[in-house]
């Protein structure tokens, strides 16, 4: 299932950001890549290891460029990837749960939703959720399951 492009430049809907993605990190790689290319130009006999590290840095640059952002307004959740966005109505959200696993001392969120074909999808992301988002989802979808803690919940 691809992303749906939805543009409304005449009456833009204000959106709040849940996850910024990591697209800004790619700018940290620019000086590293420039140094690697200049060093490779000056010392062309460095071997495959240095070429592999340069290609890996270019791959990370591209991956960070297309990092996913998650935004929402009062009715929909938007998964933004590059210039494409997928619209998920709050009524299609099944659950929002905090995971049991920790990464660097932080738990990530798991959001389950159904698409137009009633296929269930899950996205995982880090966010400092506020309760305003939970209240918006509950208001439009009273059946949603929201767990703020992975072990202690209603």
The pLDDT score that the predictor gives to residue 113 is: 94
State the number of CA atoms in the 13 A half-sphere of 117 facing the CB: 4
State how far the alpha carbon of 120 is from the alpha carbons of 5, 47, 71, 91, 95, in Å: 21, 47, 20, 13, 11
pLDDT in tens for each of the 154 residues of the chain?
444 445 455 546 677 766 666 666 777 878 888 888 888 788 877 777 778 888 888 888 888 777 788 888 888 988 888 778 889 999 999 998 888 877 777 778 889 999 889 999 998 887 766 678 888 899 999 999 888 776 665 5
Cβ atoms of 86 and 66 closer than 8 Å: no
């Amino acid at each position: 299932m691809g992303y749906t492009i939805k543009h409304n430049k005449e009456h833009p809907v204000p959106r709040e950001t849940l996850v910024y993605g990591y697209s800004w990190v790619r700018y940290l790689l620019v000086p590293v890549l420039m140094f690697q290319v200049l060093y490779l130009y000056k010392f062309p006999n460095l071997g495959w290891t240095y070429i592999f590290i340069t290609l890996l840095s270019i791959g990370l640059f591209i991956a960070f460029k297309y990092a996913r952002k998650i935004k929402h307004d009062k009715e929909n959740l938007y998964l933004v990837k590059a210039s494409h966005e997928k619209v998920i109505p709050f009524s299609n959200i099944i659950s929002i749960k905090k995971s049991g696993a920790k990464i660097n001392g932080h738990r990530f969120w798991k959001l389950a939703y159904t698409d137009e074909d009633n296929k269930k999808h899950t996205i995982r992301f880090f966010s400092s959720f506020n309760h305003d988002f939970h209240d918006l989802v509950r208001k439009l979808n009273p059946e949603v399951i929201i767990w703020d803690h992975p072990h202690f919940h209603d």
